[in-house]
Structures are given as structure tokens and as C-alpha cells.
Structure 1
Amino acid sequence: MTMKNADIAQKIFDRYSHDFIQTMEVFRLTHLDAKGNIIDFENMYICPLSLRAYHKKDIHKLTIEHVPQNSLKGKPLVLTDKEYNNSDGYTKDKKIFNFFKYQNFKRGVEPIEAKFSVPDILEGKVSGKLVGRIDGEGAKIKIGLPERTVKLLESRGVFRNWDGLKMNFKINYTHQINKSALLKSAYLIAFSKIGYRLLFSKKGLKNATYGAIIHELQKIDIDEDFPFVFTNALKVDIPDDIGIIETEDIKLLAVKVRYRLTGQEYVYHAILPHPEDESLDSLVKFRDIYVKREIEITVKSINRDYLLK
């Protein structure tokens, strides 16, 4: 870890360590060790993904979590277990990055890597890039190949037989946004704004709401029946990327997640349980009516002191 990153990690550690102690005091919560003694959380940090506690001397076991991930221009918001960070980097982060790479390709912003084969003329596949865009009128694509590949194809007579030539290509892309990665970013943004009061109440950990979200995030993919609602077409303004949305009879938390890649910005709004909800019932109800009809929504600002009112 560089000196700059070490300073960032230290600041994040201290901020949330202090916030956790405050939260425990506000809700008059205590935690006991195996011997029944009250745990002193001074200089301790609780990972928001694993809920494991780390002493300041073990800060090297934590890593800075960019939200969204660093490759999509996220900000260094929290610290998480290296184990979780590394695992997600190979799964969720890779999938969602490929999704936005494909979105940029469809817009004609940047090329996408591809493998080409020419049946009956060229054995095996060669690497290259597709350049172009895909829209309602179809696909307009050009093939970009390295000079050495062009020479190989020329030597095999590919260009002499170009008219009527059959060429196959394969691209590695993700056509749907990875819901687990989006949920993770939305949850961590909400946590960074509210702190441990998002996760705890006077009854302890909110197992039925944010505890359930943490459980889902510990999987590679969230379950299809988990009531996660998100959209890239919510026409409301949410200052500071977080707010309370209200319908006629439902209150929920809305989080704006911004992804940036090669100068392009993609904005999604994720709907999470209201911090005071004791179940996912309101989220389920909202999901069921949201997909069926347009509903009137209002948005109210939220800050760290919201839950103390």
C-alpha cells in the first residue's frame, strides 16, 4: 500500500471506528466475547460486507473499496476484507466492467476485443477488435486487426477471396448489468452516507433488511427472487446521491450510482429498504407495483442524522 493509500485507509478507518462506537452508544448496544465480557470497540473497524471486526494494528488485512470499482471511476469510500474485495474483483467487478465496455461499443465510443475465424481458409482464431455502433437501424461495424494478422490473412489468400467470404467472430461481453455488483455499490454508498446506523437499531443488527442484503452480497450472484429494484430511467433529482423516495403509502431509500468509462457516464438508481423498515415487505410491494404501472414519486433529502430524528 502506497503512503497516499495508507493515509486514505487510516482516515476511513478512524471515521467509521468512531461512528460505530457512537452508534453502539446511541442504541445502547453491547457485544460480548466468548467469555461473556463486553467487547471494547475502541480502535476497531467493522467491515460492512463481512461484519468482521479489525483492530487498527490489523488494518493491512483491509483494502480500500472504490465505489463503484476503480475501473469505473469509483471513489474510495470504505474499507473491506481483502478476501471479499479480491473475490468480487474476479467475478462481479469483471462482469459489470464488461457490461459497460459493451455499452460503449454499442455507442461507437470504443472498440471491443474479438476473436475471428475464417472457415476453410484459416485454422484457429485470430485476435482483433470491432469498431462501430449498434442502434435501432442495425449494426455498423468495422474490423480492426494487428499488422501481423493482416499479413497472415493476406498470405492465406483471405483478401483474394473476400467477395462472399464467410467470417465468424466472437466477443466477450455481458449484455445485462450485474445486479449483485450494482446492489453492492448502492449499499456501500448508502453506508458511506449514514454509517452503522444503516445496519443497527436498538434491537441490534437489522437482520431482516440490511442483514439480508449483506447475506446476498456474500454470494456470487443475488437470488432472482430477491426484491432488488433498480432503473436507469428514474426522472427525479437526488441531491448527494441518496434520498428517501415516497409513494402514496411506501417509504424507501433511493441511491444514485454513477459509472464512468472512457468519458461516458451511466447513471442508475437503486431502491433499498427504508432505514427504519423491519422487513423487506415495502420493497416487495414497490417492486410489484413499479413494474406494472407508473407511480407518482417524491424524493426527500437524507443525511447522517436522519435516523436520530
Structure 2
Amino acid sequence: MSKKIKKRILFDIYSNNLSDFKTNLKPNKIIPTEIGLYCPLCTQYYGEDKYEQLTLEHNPPNSLGGKDNILTCKQCNNSSGSKIDSEILLALNELDLMGFKPNASLKTRLYNQSTGENGVNATVNLDSEGKFIINISPANNPAVKDAFLNSFEYEYNSGLPLISNFESAGLSQKLNFEFKKPNKRNERLASIGLLKIAYLIGFEKLGHAFVVGKHMELIRSQIKYPEKEIISKPFWIHNNYTDDLLGVNIITKPKELKSFLIVFDLQTKSDVYRIGICIPGYDENDINVYNNIETLLCQGEGDLKVETNSYLNTEFDIKGENNSLLPIKFWEEITK
């Protein structure tokens, strides 16, 4: 399917969702009557006349195994993610390498006596069998690079069988160096990238009913300004999530963790990482879930049993007629 056709299909799906949504809202709600949708990140309305200003966006990022399955405006696609998306990739690549996982790759610097404090730029790779392959970047200072490559030592191994060339018998070259434990990632920005992925999955699965949630403006502000500490508490839950939880779920118990639980996979060249992010629901105090995550799950109570409901994940269809408000109604019903 071409990107042009896919873009049109998605536009029609979310336009129909918005049309059904406004039809079922109370009369005092102001929603445009024309065909169109809201960009989930900036909530700017895009009708048919502004269709070309919408873009297909990969969510999760293409570099982490995502597909172009969401529509955002060009401005948000260009400005709301490149930095935080790259931080996720960098963080996971560092985890791959420090875990010595096959096919891991990371740019770093190598140091020995010849380089001093400067070091040389290099890429460290592990092949499919877990063997190290190191490539020295040609962009290094030539003098430093040559000094590093010529800093090998000779090593003699005795006990070889009788041979005629005694000068080279048992000699091998050994290059000593070290590279520091990778720590280039900005974990704060990477975590905001995870929040963005979860938020967009919520919109992808549930439509406009998701973005009008009580606390969604706070989520959008944190995504728009990732350097600011708008949400300072942890919003992820570590768990061994099964495949049936991939997507949008609702945590029902304990009540203190009541929230949308968005579960998704991120794929590097070496491994697959399964992530669970909490998004507050529609109730006044649901934003407190982040305080409760810190209190209940980050203070030595990691064995706390969390119960979820996956109805929206398995039964809800955004293309269905007259059900655009169902996520809100279902939330109210099961979280009383």
C-alpha cells in the first residue's frame, strides 16, 4: 500500500471517529462540523482543506521497529520527537552493548597511552557470534589515529613446533586500550520519548476520546517541552508483560494505580524491549497515579499484584459506528 493511500485511509478513519464523537457529545461542546481530525500532539484542527499539512508518522520510531500508523501535523512530526526518539535508541544501544548482545553497535572513544585524554572515535560492534569488531573513524585527528594504531606491542608465545623462520616464530601483535562504560544517553529525554510513544498509541487505538482526557494537556506539554520537568515522577511500570497486553489496557487494581496501561515493543538490532507506560484517565485525581507508582512500586514493593482489563485492547474497534465515546463510558463503568 502506498503512503498516499495509507494517509487517506487513516484520515478517513479518524475523521469518521471525530464526526461520531461530536454527534454524541453534549450540545455545548464546540467541535468543527466539517470532515477532519485533530493532531494528537498539538490538538490543532485539520480539515479537508488542510489535509496536505498532515504527515504519516512512525510510532514507535522506524529505527525501533515502528510502522507509519499515525497522523500528525508536519510541524509536530518535525519538531516533537527527533531528539527524544534518538535518545531512546542511544539508551537501548548502550544496554545492548553492555549486555554483550549479538549485533550490538555503539559509537564510543578508545583510550591508551598514545591518545592521552583525547582518545579516538570508533564504533564497537558485536557480530552475530558475540565477537568484538572495532572500526576506527577516519574523521579522527590523523596524528592521534596513527599513534593509536601503531601503539601495539609484540607478544611471544613459546612452545611452537620447529620452524625455519625464527624471527617471526610465535610473535603476535597486541593492542591495548580501554573504553569507558557508555553513558552518553539522557535518560530523562529517553523517558519522555517513551511517554510520547504511549500517548500516540492511545490515540491510534481509541481516537479522539483519548486526547480529551482530563490530564492529557499535561502529557502533551511534557512531550512538547521535554527539557522541562513538568512530570517529575516515574510513569512506567516494569513487568513481564505477555503478548495479549500489547496495546491499550486499564489498570483496575490496586485503585491507587488506576490508569491506562500502554504496552509496546521496541526492537533494536540485538533485542526486543517491552515497555509499560501509565497514562492518567478521566477522573479528577487520576494524575496521582505517578505519585503512587513511586510510593508503591519504587520503594521496595515490586511484588505488588497489578490487575488489568484489556477490553479496549481486544474488543474495541475505532472504525465501529456509534462507539467513539465507548472508551470514556467503559472507563467510568469499570473504575467506579
Give the alignment's TM-score, normalised by structure 2: 0.72
Higher strand share: 1
Once the two structures are TM-superposed, the CA of residue 60 in structure 1 deviates from its matched residue by: 2.4
Alignment match, 2:319: none
Where structure 1 has 5 or more consecutive residues not aligned to the other structure, the ranges are: 33-38, 134-139, 201-205
User: 1:40 & 1:157 partners in 2: Cα distance?
Assistant: 70
Evaluate the alpha carbon distance shift between residue 102 and residue 175 of structure 1 in structure 2; reply closer, same or farther with a 3 A threshold. Answer: farther
Work out whether residues 130 and 141 of structure 1, in 8 Å CA contact, stay in contact via their aligned partners in 2: no
Evaluate the alpha carbon distance shift between residue 282 and residue 115 of structure 1 in structure 2; reply closer, same or farther with a 3 A threshold. Answer: closer
Alignment match, 1:100: 92
Q: Which of 199, 209, 215 does residue 187 from structure 1 map onto?
A: 199
Alignment match, 2:253: 247
Alignment match, 1:268: 275
Alignment match, 1:136: none
Aligned length, in residue pairs: 288
Once the two structures are TM-superposed, the CA of residue 222 in structure 1 deviates from its matched residue by: 5.4
Work out whether residues 218 and 230 of structure 2, in 8 Å CA contact, stay in contact via their aligned partners in 1: no
Matches within 5 A, 1:1-309: 4-28=2-26, 40-107=32-99, 108-109=101-102, 110-120=104-114, 125-131=119-125, 142=132, 144-145=134-135, 153=146, 157-160=150-153, 173-174=184-185, 176=187, 178-200=190-212, 206=213, 208-221=214-227, 223=229, 225-234=231-240, 238-250=244-256, 251-262=258-269, 264-274=271-281, 276-279=282-285, 280-292=287-299, 293=301, 294-303=303-312, 304=316, 305-309=326-330
Evaluate the alpha carbon distance shift between residue 41 and residue 99 of structure 1 in structure 2; reply closer, same or farther with a 3 A threshold. Answer: farther
Once the two structures are TM-superposed, the CA of residue 216 in structure 1 deviates from its matched residue by: 1.3
Once the two structures are TM-superposed, the CA of residue 57 in structure 1 deviates from its matched residue by: 3.2
Amino acid at match of 2:308: V
Where structure 2 has 5 or more consecutive residues not aligned to the other structure, the ranges are: 155-172, 317-325, 331-336
User: 2:237 & 2:86 partners in 1: Cα distance?
Assistant: 21
Amino acid at match of 2:21: T
Aligned-partner SS, 1:145: strand
Evaluate the alpha carbon distance shift between residue 83 and residue 160 of structure 1 in structure 2; reply closer, same or farther with a 3 A threshold. Answer: same
Once the two structures are TM-superposed, the CA of residue 258 in structure 1 deviates from its matched residue by: 0.8
Alpha-carbon displacement from aligned partner over 1:227-267 (angstroms, at most 9, x marks no partner): 44213324566535221112243422111021011152100
Evaluate the alpha carbon distance shift between residue 169 and residue 246 of structure 1 in structure 2; reply closer, same or farther with a 3 A threshold. Answer: closer
Give the alignment's TM-score, normalised by structure 1: 0.78
Once the two structures are TM-superposed, the CA of residue 300 in structure 1 deviates from its matched residue by: 1.0
Taking only the aligned residue pairs, the percentage that are identical comes to 20
User: 1:155 & 1:222 partners in 2: Cα distance?
Assistant: 41
User: 1:199 & 1:147 partners in 2: Cα distance?
Assistant: 46
Work out whether residues 249 and 308 of structure 2, in 8 Å CA contact, stay in contact via their aligned partners in 1: yes
